[in-house]
Structure 1
Amino acid sequence: MNNLVFHLRDAPVSAWAGIVIVAFYAVLAILAPVLAPYAESASVAAQYQPWIAPHYLGTDALGRDVMSRLIYGARNTVGIALATTILAFTLGASWGLLAATLGGWFDTISARAIDVLMAIPPLIFALLILTITGTSVVALILVIAILDSTRVFRLSRAVAQGILTMDYIEVARMRGESVFWLIRKEVLPNAASPLIAEFGLRFCFVFLFISALSFLGLGIQPPTADWGGMVRESAKLIAFANFSSWQSATFGLAPLLPAGAIALLTIGVNLVVDWVLHLSSGLKE
């Protein structure tokens, strides 16, 4: 704990900015029912109300409070993206490290199977599978996690292959250490830095991928609040915006609210990942 406090004290401004952004989104996700002024799917006013009290960000086509849906969107979009990334890393990193350590036919077959999956464009593959299986949250998490685990497999396998050529690995093999001991004690600790960086990048890609699927209508389904779906629902308002008047201009700004929330979280996560990667690499300023 003291070591973490020491690193936080010396963290650069960019890292603190990322930490503040991520913490802000975490608070929104955890305390959404407390912070949101209205229920997630409740119609509380007429449609397309301007940005005035008590609806400070207006209402949507069904009269739902936009601010409340943005807050609940943090819980839904970020929570599903985090669960998907954790599952993708569990599958991809475990498989990649095991394939590299075992080698032989298992490594060859695994690598060729991953090549086949990666040859298919992920968005097209996800659209195809979700059209067949349906767009439930469980199906969304499983499909995206399997697709994303292929990228994690490639990275973890490549990093592990470099580590397995080291002399201390040969010494451990001569001592008769098991494959799982080698992965847990030797390979994984030395592969931590690139895997940490990849986790942050994968989270951003998964987060954007889920938002893109929701924008296309195959992601998180209504009436659940989701930022990608909110962009789709409000995109048509741009055509009705008149920037000579503030109330009319808010129609054109409506799609930018969920889009800006997506962009800000992506920036914040990358700032934190850059700092963590710098710490784990052992580099000094």
Structure 2
Amino acid sequence: MSVFVVLYFACLIIASCLAAFYEKRGPFILLFSLTLVSFILGIVGGTGALRFVAIAAAVLAFAAGVAFCFREFLVVLLPTKIGKELKTAPLTAAFGLFVIFTYAIAAIFAPWIAPYGESEVIASSFAPADENMLLGADQLGRDMFSRIIYGARNSVGLALAATIAAFFLGAAAGLLAATKGGWFDQFMGRFADVIMSIPSLIFALLMLSIFGPQVFVIIVAVAIIYAPRVFRLTRAVAGNVVVMDYIEAAKLRGEKDSYLIRREILPNSTAPLIAEFGLEFCFVFLLVAGLSFLGLGIQPPTADWGSMVRENATLISFGDITPLIPAAAIALLTVAVNFVVDWMLFRSSGLKE
């Protein structure tokens, strides 16, 4: 039995005993369950399995610590009312906010953070990592780290622009349909059903094949694809508001539809719509990355995470995980946004822990 195994189980047992002594039920169950699982994994997989569990636990503990510190930082920095709301946020939501903040910093300050330009050739093809290139070079000899930093600006920026366009169209149509009703409501509902019946990827590929893989075409295609989803939710939420007594009172006062939407309906529909915006961003982000992977998204030499996975996929055959780094960046942002959306949905639902 190695020294690592002895120290590993000693730390788990001591931590479990301390949690039980101080009557911390949740941490005790977690730590002792990890001890039992580690015992089984140690028998089956040996020291290698225990090292993997230890690394995974260390990464999770580090992420939890970063999330806690970032949440406390926001509580101190932001106004009192917002700080109180953030104080109750779970660590998963705080971690999601930290990841989103990190991506935003990378996107905004990409020219100052990246050591090289996104299309600058500085080495040979697939050059290994060294003191000048943290992640090595791609198939043309461009710095992978710099391209990932610039990819945060291009990939996330395009997905955000497309999400805003889809959300604006869908939310505006849904609010008008709920306010006006009648034939306009029926027409918009059936039109949305027709658009939603078309597979999103096939529709996007068709439009990009006809009009070309340009940024404007991508934004329009994505907006057409996802606007009906936003319309359905907005229509459902606003439909529950327009039947309220204060809406009827506003109509009797002679208020116009624009006033009803701006001052009465929209303020009472904000929470679910904000959560829906986060979910739509995840869907749009994955669709844009998929289009880039297929070669119909952002075109080279512009850095894009989806195209970076395709361009460097050859390295996987040689055991190099470099192509997985942009894929991990896509997955991390998607998970982070979902963490924040889950918290916002919990708050808007009115449930209490």
Aligning the two structures, in what range does the TM-score lie when normalised by the shorter sequence? over 0.9
TM-score scaled to structure 2, two decimals?
Answer: 0.75
CA RMSD of aligned residues (A): 1.3
Tell me, yes or no, if structure 1 residue 278 matches structure 2 residue 342: no
Task: Quote how far apart the aligned CAs of 1:282 are.
Answer: 4.3
Q: Which moved more, 1:155-164 or 1:2-11?
A: 2-11
Contact 2:108–2:153 (8 Å) recurs in 1: yes
Counterpart in 2 of 1:221?
A: 299
Amino acid at match of 2:342: D
Q: Would the aligned equivalents of 2:272 and 2:348 in 1 still touch at CA under 8 Å?
A: no
How many Å separate the matches in 1 of 2:227 and 2:123?
44
1:220-245 C-alpha deviation (Å, 9 max, x unpaired): 1111000000111111221222xxxx
3-state SS of 1:39 partner: coil
Q: Percent identity over the alignment? A: 59
Which residue does 2:195 correspond to in 1?
117
Query: Partner amino acid for 2:329?
Result: A
User: 1:191-206 maps to which residues of 2 (within 5 A)?
Assistant: 191-206=269-284
Match of 1:207 among 285, 291, 294: 285
Task: Verify the 8 A CA contact 1:192 1:280 in the aligned structure 2.
Answer: no
Q: Which residue of 2 aligns with 1:260?
A: 328
The offset of 1:165, in angstroms, is 2.0
CA distance in 2, matches of 1:160, 1:279: 19
The within-5 A match list for 1:1-285 is 1-241=79-319, 251=320, 253-285=321-353
CA distance in 1, matches of 2:147, 2:183: 51
Q: Pick which of 71-80 and 136-145 moved more.
A: 136-145
- Between stretches 262-271 and 4-13, larger displacement belongs to 4-13
Rg comparison, structure with higher value: 2
SS for the counterpart of 2:163 is: helix
Alignment partners' CA distance in 1, 2:348 and 2:232: 21
2:161 and 2:339 mapped to 1: Cα distance?
A: 21
**1:224-269 Cα deviation digits (max 9, x unpaired):** 000000111111221222xxxxxxxxx2x01210000000001111
How far off is 1:142 after superposition? 1.3
Shift of 1:139: 1.1
Aligned to 1:221, what secondary structure does the other structure show?
A: coil
**What one-letter code is carried by the residue in structure 1 that aligns with 2:323?**
P
Whole-angstrom CA distance in 1 between matches of 2:141 and 2:171: 45
Deviations 1:142-172 (A, max 9, x none): 1111211111011101111122222222222
Please say if residues 128 and 137 of structure 2, whose CA atoms lie closer than 8 Å, have aligned partners that are also in contact. yes
Q: CA deviation at 1:208?
A: 0.5
Q: What letter is aligned with 1:7?
A: E
- List runs of 5+ in structure 2 lacking aligned partners: 1-78
Shifted more, 29-38 versus 188-197: the winner is 188-197
TM-score scaled by length of structure 1? 0.93
Aligned partner letter, 1:142:
V
Task: Give the C-alpha shift of residue 281 in structure 1.
Answer: 4.2
CA distance in 2, matches of 1:217, 1:64: 19
Q: Relative contact order (C-alpha < 8 Å, sep 6+): which is higher? A: 1
In structure 1, the gaps of 5 or more residues are 242-250
Give 1:12 deviation, angstroms: 2.0
